[in-house]
């Protein structure tokens, strides 16, 4: 395969803390010989594992980018055993625009893995992570939140994997994050996800969903900051104690967890995040804006559980994800 067009402007292996960019040549109307410049910080201490920490995979999710920007600034003052690579704005064009996808090519980075070195700008970013950053890491944390269109209960997540030993490592790291909830996540659309690529390379992988709505709260940022620090402690990269209460464990046993809109209009959720729901009960009604005197379209829970995600804006289209239900699990 051809080499990646992306060049780091700093040494990723030399001892010490360095701040630089991943430079991706991008020729466009406003800059013939221009570049996309993705900020990166690397801290190399003594011997130990490598942690690759990313935010901004989707450009309208803020807890990860805030926590990682602050961590990058603080790394100078921390005693690191091993190496920490911090990329707070993975899809940098999307982060600058505050949009889920890239304004350059409308690329959804988390649907374009493993990427291509000769593809679109977004595919080139994916390819650089797949072939140059992820293979050097032991532990990978990718921060997500709901973005402009979803809101989540704050949780860390891992996936069911074929390799039981790897799944145990990922589960232990997810628990160490100490978000209020920990979810064994079923993906609604797994094709092309960073998660899948990282897990296929055998890495310990943790992702999150930490609220949403296109902003961050004081509480959700605190969860993100505590979580990344806890993960680095658990990996032996930072000294200290894991802080916070153990997470409430949740499972997503089937596709019945997802409630999809079968009408367009104004959505009325009948449960808030964290509230219990029963199989068969109405959890959302969609009201038409076209006329009065029409019954709303009721949407029902497919199983018993608690509401862990909801559509955020007040208007929905047919096919939108209205709600996600997860089920309390053992341990």
Least Å distance between CB 10 and Ca ion? 27
Least Å distance between CB 147 and Ca ion? 6
d(CA 323, CA 150) in angstroms, rounded, equals 9
Please identify, using beta-carbon distances, which residue of 92 and 144 lies nearer to Ca ion: 144
d(CA 269, CA 249) in angstroms, rounded, equals 24
Closest CA to 46 of 21, 18, 79, 70: 79
**Residue number closest to Ca ion, CB atom:** 144
Output the CA torsion sign for 88, 91, 95, 100. Answer: negative
Least Å distance between CB 124 and Ca ion? 20
Burial class (CB in 10 A: 0-12, 13-18, 19+), 46: exposed
Please identify, using beta-carbon distances, which residue of 61 and 127 lies nearer to Ca ion: 61
Least Å distance between CB 233 and Ca ion? 25
Least Å distance between CB 320 and Ca ion? 15
Please identify, using beta-carbon distances, which residue of 58 and 175 lies nearer to Ca ion: 58
Least Å distance between CB 157 and Ca ion? 11
Buried b (16+ CB within 10 A) or exposed e, 66-80: bbbbebbeebeebeb
Please identify, using beta-carbon distances, which residue of 58 and 311 lies nearer to Ca ion: 58
Q: Which residue has the tokens 């959700």?
A: 220
Residues that bind Ca ion (CB under 5 A): 58, 144
Q: Are 41 and 63 in contact (CB under 8 A)?
A: no
* DSSP secondary structure string for all residues of 165-215: HHHHHHHHHHHHH--SEEEEPPPSS-TT-HHHHHHHTT-EEEEEE---TTS
Least Å distance between CB 42 and Ca ion? 24
Please identify, using beta-carbon distances, which residue of 58 and 83 lies nearer to Ca ion: 58
Burial class (CB in 10 A: 0-12, 13-18, 19+), 113: buried
Angle 172-70-106 from CA coordinates, rounded to 5°: 85
Please identify, using beta-carbon distances, which residue of 4 and 91 lies nearer to Ca ion: 91
Please identify, using beta-carbon distances, which residue of 45 and 56 lies nearer to Ca ion: 56
């Amino acid at each position: 395969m051809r080499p990646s067009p992306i060049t780091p402007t700093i040494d990723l292996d030399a001892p010490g803390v360095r701040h630089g960019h991943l430079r991706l040549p991008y020729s466009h109307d406003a800059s013939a010989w221009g570049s996309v410049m993705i900020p990166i910080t690397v801290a190399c201490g003594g011997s130990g594992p490598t942690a690759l920490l990313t935010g901004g995979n989707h450009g309208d999710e803020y807890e990860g980018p805030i926590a990682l920007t602050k961590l990058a600034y603080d790394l100078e003052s921390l005693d690191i055993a091993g190496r920490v690579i911090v990329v707070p704005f993975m899809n940098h064009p999307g982060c600058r625009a505050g949009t889920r996808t890239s304004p350059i090519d409308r690329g959804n980075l988390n649907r374009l893995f493993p990427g291509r070195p000769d593809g679109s700008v977004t595919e080139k970013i994916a390819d650089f992570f797949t072939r140059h950053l992820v293979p050097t890491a032991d532990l990978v944390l990718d921060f997500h939140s709901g973005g402009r269109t979803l809101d989540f209960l704050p949780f860390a997540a891992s996936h069911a994997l074929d390799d039981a030993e790897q799944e145990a490592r990922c589960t232990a790291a997810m628990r160490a994050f100490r978000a209020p909830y920990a979810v064994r996540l079923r993906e609604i659309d797994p094709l092309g996800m960073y998660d899948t690529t990282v897990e296929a390379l055998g890495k310990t992988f943790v992702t999150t969903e930490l609220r949403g709505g296109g902003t961050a709260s004081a509480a959700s940022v605190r969860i993100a900051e505590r979580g990344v620090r806890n993960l680095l402690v658990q990996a032996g990269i930072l000294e200290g104690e894991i802080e916070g209460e153990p997470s409430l464990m949740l499972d997503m046993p089937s596709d019945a967890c997802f409630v999809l809109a079968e009408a367009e209009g104004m959505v009325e959720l009948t449960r808030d995040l964290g509230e219990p729901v029963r199989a068969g009960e109405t959890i959302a009604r969609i009201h038409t804006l076209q006329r009065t005197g029409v019954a709303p379209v009721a949407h029902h829970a497919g199983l018993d559980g608690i509401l862990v995600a909801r559509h955020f804006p007040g208007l929905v289209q047919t096919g939108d994800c209205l709600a996600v239900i997860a089920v309390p699990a053992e341990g």
